[in-house]
């Protein structure tokens, strides 16, 4: 049996995550963004923080990531660079989130178009092959 490379295992793991659906993908996306915010917050706070506590630093960077607000006027350059990284992460996150939502909506619409949805009504007559001209 051949041993798979690290990149093949990573690709397979990513395919497994994607195959589990939109909710799982959004959860992983939130976890990755939270980890990035935490790492950048700790690094910035340890070197040159503008916030009094680490919790305040994390909160400030989390809000920056969620709404792309730039509160860096008069801040040290390390803080500005950290904010830039967080804003870029935010752009990527929002674009992936929008694509996941659009993909899920397209999947549901295709399912409805194929007639593979649950019908809750009863006592109806279905006319197969009919058209408006026949009525």
What long-range pairs does 88-97 form, CB within 8 A, spacing at least 24? 89/33, 89/36, 89/37, 89/65, 90/33, 90/64, 90/65, 90/66, 93/29, 93/33, 93/65, 96/29, 97/26, 97/29
Confidence grade of residue 35 (pLDDT, cut at 50, 70, 90):
very high
Q: Which H or E run includes 116?
A: none
> Would you list the domain boundaries of the chain?
22-101
The set of residues, in sequence order, having a beta carbon less than 8 Å from that of 70 and lying 6+ positions away, is: 64, 83, 87
Quick check: 40 and 33 in contact, CB under 8 A? Answer: no
pLDDT at residue 72 tops 60: yes
pTM, entire model: 0.56
pLDDT at residue 66 tops 70: yes
What pLDDT score was predicted for residue 1?
A: 55
Residue 26: exposure state from Cβ atoms within 10 A (0-12, 13-18, ≥19): middle
Quick check: 16 and 62 in contact, CB under 8 A? Answer: no
pLDDT at residue 73 tops 70: no
Compute the average pLDDT of residues 14-32: 80
What pLDDT score was predicted for residue 65?
A: 74
User: Tens digit of pLDDT for each residue in 119-129?
Assistant: 556 676 777 77
């Amino acid at each position: 049996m051949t041993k798979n490379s690290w990149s093949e295992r990573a690709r397979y793991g990513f395919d497994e995550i994607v195959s589990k659906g939109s909710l799982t993908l959004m959860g992983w996306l939130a976890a990755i963004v939270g980890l990035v915010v935490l790492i950048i917050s700790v690094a910035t706070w340890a070197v040159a923080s503008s916030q009094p506590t680490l919790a305040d630093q994390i909160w400030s960077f989390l809000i920056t990531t969620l709404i792309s607000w730039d509160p860096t006027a008069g801040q040290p350059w390390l803080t500005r660079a950290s904010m830039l990284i967080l804003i870029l992460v935010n752009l990527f996150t929002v674009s992936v989130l929008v694509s996941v939502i659009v993909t899920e909506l397209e999947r549901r619409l295709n399912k409805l178009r194929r007639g593979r949805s649950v019908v809750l009504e009863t006592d109806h007559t279905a006319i197969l092959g009919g058209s408006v001209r026949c009525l």
